[in-house]
Amino acid sequence: MSTVVLGLIFYNLRQNPEWRNFDWGRLWQSLTHARPKLLLLALGAVYFTYLVRAYRWKFFMAPMKKASIWVLFVGQVLGFSAIYLVGRPGEFVRPAYIAKKESVPITSMVAVWLLERIFDSICLVLLFSLALFFIPTGQMSTAGAHVLTVMHRAGDVMLALTMVVVGSLVTYRLKTRAITAWLLRRAQILPQRMQHRAERLLESFAEGLQVVQSLPDFLGSAALSVVLWCTNGTIFWLALQSLGGGLAQLSWMAAALVMFCASLGLLVQFPGIGGGYQVGIVLALTEVFAVEADVATGASILLWLLMCVPVMVMGLAMLVHEGLSIKRLEAITEEEEEMEHEAAAKDS
């Protein structure tokens, strides 16, 4: 289905007269004439985001264990490297690696990973709303107004769903015993072993959500989430500024809107390519800000390289340092799951 959607997007873009006159020479020129100083600043900001992510996980894990910031940083880098190299299955490298290194249940780390996703979604939607409010109308094309209306509706749906999930998680954390007991009563039709496994899973998941009850940890996590996404928006802005021309006229809020579209594009993701990420950038620049197709394509390529190549290079270096491989990272995930199964079997 994702392939069909992506194919339709490219087909519609190619029907646009601007894309039929695509200038490959100007695309190459825009990339080769990018300002190095701004790109170096963006590169430093990219690495900084992984440090911020590591400290945020430290806050998430504070109620259960005082984790090593180095382990958390390595886990972030290896996890995102795995995503870029093998696609979505690499998502669970982070929780599995950190669970193994810190000797905590992987279910707790999966809960932390889910909590991270919720914080990220809220920050993205709020940033999108601010961008719509503050972007000068002169930076938008006439056709872009309709696109923004559709995007606004999508953002409202995302915010509503996120708030429902947040409310559900808070309720579960505050009423863990009652909800767990209710769920286990409904699971009595299952074999005894599966009931014990479900009980262990629910308890570990609740443990991973303890940050919701700790105000300092919650505020620290929220503050770092704001820092993280403001830094990501700055990376986009620096990259667009480095290309000069019309892109250099776009405000920081405009760059944040492009980042939001890129994030929506991640719903269509392909291993080693990124796919929808670049499409989201191109659509935002061409349809909302009336940027030429070749220039927008150059920006999407540059942003993709900035976001994935630095972490993959560092990730490969850390793999060598840790004596690991991509296959070994995948095996760690399987090992952690097997350990959880064995623990559940002993309890039964």
Please give the full DSSP string across 192-206, using - where no structure is assigned: HHHHHHHHHHHHHHH
- CB distance 284 to 13 below 8 Å: no
Determine the average pLDDT of the residues in 309-333: 75
Determine the average pLDDT of the residues in 112-129: 85
* Strand, coil or helix: 325: coil
Query: How many CA atoms are closer than 13 Å to the CA of 147, on its beta-carbon side?
Result: 17
Please tell me the predicted confidence (pLDDT) of residue 6.
40
Is pLDDT of 261 > 90? Answer: no
Write the DSSP symbol of residue 286: I
- Residue spans of the domains in the chain: they are 26-347
Please tell me the predicted confidence (pLDDT) of residue 227.
96
Please tell me the predicted confidence (pLDDT) of residue 57.
94
pLDDT digits (tens, 9 = 90+) for 144-199: 666 666 666 766 776 777 778 778 777 877 787 788 788 778 777 777 777 776 77
pTM beyond 0.85: no
* Strand, coil or helix: 251: coil
Q: Which residue has the higher pLDDT, 45 or 145?
A: 45
- When mean pLDDT is compared across 81-95, 212-226, 271-285, 306-320, the lowest value belongs to 271-285
- When mean pLDDT is compared across 36-40, 159-163, 202-206, 238-242, the lowest value belongs to 202-206
Which residues fall within 8 angstroms of residue 257, CB to CB, at 6 or more apart?
Answer: 128, 131, 132, 135, 284, 288
At 274, the pLDDT band (50, 70, 90 cuts) reads: very low
Neighbours of 140 (CB within 10 A): 18
Q: Which residue has the higher pLDDT, 84 or 241?
A: 241
Please tell me the predicted confidence (pLDDT) of residue 13.
46
Cα(236)–Cα(186) distance, rounded to whole angstroms?
48
Which H or E element spans position 294?
helix 293-322
Please tell me the predicted confidence (pLDDT) of residue 165.
76
Tokens of 65: 């264990």
Cα(261)–Cα(285) distance, rounded to whole angstroms?
10
Please tell me the predicted confidence (pLDDT) of residue 213.
67
Q: Which residue has the higher pLDDT, 269 or 5?
A: 269
Query: How many CA atoms are closer than 13 Å to the CA of 10, on its beta-carbon side?
Result: 11
Mean confidence (pLDDT) of the chain: 76
Tokens of 10: 């490219």
